[in-house]
Structure 1
C-alpha cells in the first residue's frame, strides 16, 4: 500500500461535475480578473466566518504583507511573533523594515506562548502577530488583553486555521479565527483545509477603514481606476480559484468533521506507543485538523523508514526562524528559544485529508509501531 501525504485527486473525482461546471462557467464568461465569482466568494467567507469585511488577494503571503503594511508594521518598529512557523509570518514584518521579535512556543500546542509576550513589549512595539498552527488557535484571550493594555495592533495569521473557532474563558459565542484581532488572513494553498487549485488568500477585518485600505492596496493602491491613493500591490484572487473555492466551501463542514474522525483514528492507534507524543488542545475552542502532528523519538530515522514503506510525511518546521540565515541580522542564536528548537527536531506530520481511509491510517500507524520494534 502507498499512502500519500496529500492528494487532491480524490476530492476532484468525488465532486468532478461541480468543479468542472464552476470552472467552465468562468471560462464561458471570459471574466478572469475580479469576476462575479470573486465577489460571491468574499460574501460567502463573510457569512461563514462572521467577519464584516473580506478582501481576497493572490496568496496568503500577500495577505500578510498587505495587512502588515496597513497596520503599520514597518519603519523599524517591533512586532512580536513566534519563531516556529512558516517564513511568511515573519518576512511580512521584515520586508517593511520592521523587526520581528520572537517569543518561544508552548510545547503542547506549538503556538506562541502568550505568557511570554508581555516581557518583550517596549515603547517601540506596535503589534502582535499570533499564528494559529496545525489544529488550534493561539491564546487570544491573553493576546487581546495585552494588546488592549498596550495599544497594540493584532494581525492573526490564520493561514492554516480556516474553520477554527475560539470562545475563550469569558466568551458567549465562538469567534472564527482571523476575526478577533484588527485583521486576519487566510491562505487557500491547495493543501489547506479550504484549498484551491493554485494560490489564493483572504484578508478579513471588522474595521471599515482597514477594509477599504485593503481593497485599494490589492489593486496598486487605487481608489478607482488610475487614481492611486497609496503605493500598493498587484494581488488579486483569480476568478477560477474563487469558483473552485466556492464549491469546496459548500462541503467544508463535512470535510472538517472527517478530519476530526481521522485524527481520532490516529490517536486511538498511537496512544499506547511510548515513543510518540500526541499534542493536546488548550483553551475553549473548536479545533480543525489541517495537520496531524506527533512528536517522535528518532524522528529523522522514522521518516526514512516510513518513506521506504511508501508513507508520505512532512516536517513543519525543521528549522525555527530565529536560526534561519535570512534572519541572522536579528542576532539570535541557538538556545534562545529552547522549546521551539526541541520541537523542530521531533515534530512529524502524518497524512490527513478527508478522503483518506481508515485502512490507510491503520497502515501508517502499523508502520510507525514496527519501526520502534526494531
Structure 2
C-alpha cells in the first residue's frame, strides 16, 4: 500500500478551520467598503506591535516594501552601502538596491545560518576609512557603510548582542530582516528575552501566505521604537503624504490591504498555538533524526527560542536524498539553493565561487523538511523512515 504523501506545506487545513471567521471578515469589508486603511489596519498594527513588544507597527504591502521602507526611514541614503548576508531570499538585497544603496556581504554562522558576528567584525576591520568621516568604506564598492541588515533566517534570531555591539562601534544603523521570525525570541545579555523586531532601528516582517503568520495574499509590516521612523514609513507607503494630496516626499503605493489586515488579526490570535506546534514538531524531528549518520539537525542555542518557519537539515548528498524522499511521497524544499551573491542578476557585483565559503557550502547541503502547524507525528515518522532508508541504500551501494 502506497503511504499517503507528506506535503512540504499544508495551507489548506488551517484555512479550512478558519473559513467561517475569514469569510465573515471579508463579508464585513464588503458591507462597509473599508478596503484601504481604517479600523482593521489600525487594529492589526496595534496588536502586532503589542505581540512583538514594540511601540510602533506600520502595515505595508509586502515584506520587500517592509525592508525597503525600513532602510529608507532609518536613514539609509543613495550612494551608501549596507552589509548583509547572501544566505537569504533575494528580497533582502532587492530592498537595499531599491533604497539606493549598495550591498556588501559577510558570511554566516555555520550552525544558525544567520550573520556571523565574527565575520562582520573582521570585514569591517578590514575596510578602508573615509578620510573625512572615518566611516568604513565597502570593500566591493568603496561606498560609505551606514547600516547592517541581519537576517533572522528560518525562524531564529541572529546573535543580536554581538551584532549591536559591532554596529555601535562602527556607528551603523541596524535594520532587522525578521520576515521569517514572527515571535522568535533571543535571550539578551541583560537577562531579558526579547522578540524579533525589537532590536534594531526598525525591523521588517513579511506575511506572505507561507509564513508563520501569513495573509491570504501579500502583506508586510515594519516595527520600530522610533516615532519618526514610523511616521516616515506611513508617508512612504502612502505616496509620501501625511495629509491627503499634500506630499512631503516622493513615496510609493505600499499600503497594507484592509482585508488582509482583517485576516491577519484573526490569525494572530492563533500564532502562539501554531508556534508551540512548530516547536513540538521540531523536537520530534530532533529525536527521530538525531542518530542518523551524515544528517545535521538544526542548531538552537540556549539563548534562542526559534519558531521554526523552516526545519532545515544538512546532508552531503542533499540532491540525491531529496529525490529519494520525493519518490517516497515526502516533499521537501530548498532555502536557498543558490546564494544571492552568485545569482545571475548580480554578476556585475563581481563575487565568485569561494567568496563566502560557509554560505556556499550550506547552499549545497541544506534541505527543508515538511514543517507546518498540524504536522502529525505519523507524517514525521514517514519523513524519518524515508531518510533512514536512503542511508541504508547508500551504505549498501557504497556511496558512503
TM-score range, shorter chain: over 0.9
Residue number among 228, 231, 236 corresponding to 2:255 in the alignment: 236
Q: Deviations over 1:148-167 (max 9, x none)?
A: 22211010000000001122
Deviation at 1:9, TM superposition (A): 1.1
Determine the structure 2 residue equivalent to 1:127: 147
The residue aligned with 2:168 is: 148
Q: Work out the CA distance in 1 between the residues paired with 2:187 and 2:111.
A: 19
Structure 1 residue 57: deviation in Å?
0.3
Structure 1 equivalent of residue 276 of structure 2: 257
- Residues of 2 paired with 1:242 and 1:171: CA distance? 35
Residue equivalent to 1:298: 317
Provide the C-alpha distance between the structure 1 equivalents of 2:96 and 2:357, rounded to a whole number of angstroms. Answer: 23
- Whole-Å separation in 2 of the counterparts to 1:68 and 1:119: 23
Q: Mean Cα displacement is larger for which, 279-288 or 305-314?
A: 279-288
Q: Residues of 2 paired with 1:81 and 1:365: CA distance? A: 34
Question: Which residue, 34, 37, 44 being the options, matches 2:37?
Answer: 34
* Deviation of 1:99 (Å): 1.5
Which runs of no fewer than 5 residues in structure 2 stay unpaired?
125-135, 138-143, 394-400
Aligned ranges 1:189-338 → 2 under 5 Å = 189-282=208-301, 284-338=303-357
Aligned partners of 1:64, 1:175: CA distance in 2, in Å? 20
Whole-angstrom CA distance in 2 between matches of 1:345 and 1:149: 34
Distance in 2 between residues matched to 1:30 and 1:43, nearest whole Å: 22
Counterpart secondary structure, 2:368: strand
Give distance in 2, aligned partners of 1:74 and 1:365: 48
- The 5 Å alignment of 1:178-193 reads 178-193=197-212
Deviations 1:55-100 (CA, angstroms, capped at 9, x unpaired): 0001001111112222333422111100110001112112233211
Shift of 1:18: 2.1
Q: Is the 8 A contact 1:26 1:32 kept in 2?
A: yes
Query: Bigger shift: 218-227 or 277-286?
Result: 277-286
1:70 lines up with 2:73 in the alignment: yes
Alignment of 1:42-61 (within 5 A): 42-61=45-64
SS for the counterpart of 1:277 is: coil
Q: Which consecutive residues of structure 1, in runs of 5 or more, have no partner in the other structure?
A: none
Q: Distance in 1 between matches of 2:26 and 2:9?
A: 22
Bigger radius of gyration among the two: 2
**Count of residue pairs brought into register by the alignment:** 373
Choose 88-97 or 353-362, whichever is displaced more: 88-97
CA distance in 1 between counterparts of 2:86 and 2:217 reads 27
DSSP 3-state at the match of 1:354 = coil
Does residue 167 of structure 2 align to residue 157 of structure 1?
Answer: no
Q: Report whether the alignment pairs 1:117 with 2:137.
A: no
Q: CA shift at 1:285, angstroms? A: 2.6
Distance in 2 (alpha carbons) for counterparts of 1:238 and 1:176: 25
Which residue pairs with 1:343 in the alignment?
362
How far apart, CA to CA, are the structure 1 residues paired with 2:106 and 2:310? Answer: 23
What TM-score comes out, normalization by structure 2 length?
0.91
| 1:21-68 CA-partner distances (Å, limit 9, x unpaired) | 222222221111113111111110111111111000010011111122
RMSD: 1.3
Quote the residue 1:93 is aligned against. 96
- Deviation of the 1:283 alpha carbon: 5.4
> Match of 1:290, SS?
coil
Q: What is the CA-CA distance between 1:128 and the residue it aligns to?
A: 0.5
Q: Scaled by the length of structure 1, what TM-score is found?
A: 0.97
- 1:4 corresponds to which residue? 7
1:117 positional shift: 0.9
CA distance in 2, matches of 1:114, 1:218: 32
